[in-house]
Chains A and B, each alone.
Chain A
């Protein structure tokens, strides 16, 4: 049973570039969550998606950030025109139903130069 997979594990971007983070949920899981973790802080909820639908994006910054979970393929978190403040670890979690416990991936560490 493969766990939640995220790639890349490390991503380096220069200011102004786009960052694209991928998350493949566990088999049979149709609910995906994205969190951001700044150094020495807890995780902060960003967005909750089901297949082809954004259910709750209340934690997403209003500009430059978007997320999708298409019918086929992984969930994508996209950050356009990255700035240094976007440097963080981004974790994806999945669950079979939205009230069940969430299983986390290993994270993508984004560094913006």
Chain B
């Protein structure tokens, strides 16, 4: 069962910031939040991950609320190539092994 809830779809104008929300209200203290995206049914591509602090890399920023019940992925300047399904994932500890629990994702469409 997915531990994350995301809106099914979003649109964003090219060049603007895309803010993708994710709720993970049942997340445990040692569970990380990961973001991946999947373009045209290709293999998912890693974007970013975090535990408590906000994170930034060359692709995106991840903002995690203080209570860790939700987070937002920010693509600062969306391009047409960012059109994809974005998955917010919780990495859970299941009896000593860690696995990704995917939700249904947000289908982001970047508009010209």
Contact = CB atoms under 8 A, between A and B. Distances in A.
B102 A44 contact: yes
A106 B42 contact: yes
B58 interface: no
A107 B40 CA distance: 12
Contact of A4 (B43, B98, B104): B43
Contacts of A48: 97, 99
20 contacts: A35-B102, A41-B104, A43-B44, A45-B100, A45-B102, A48-B97, A48-B99, A55-B97, A56-B94, A56-B97, A56-B99, A58-B94, A91-B44, A93-B43, A98-B97, A101-B34, A101-B46, A102-B46, A104-B45, A107-B43
Interface of B: 2, 34, 36, 41-46, 49, 87, 94, 97-105
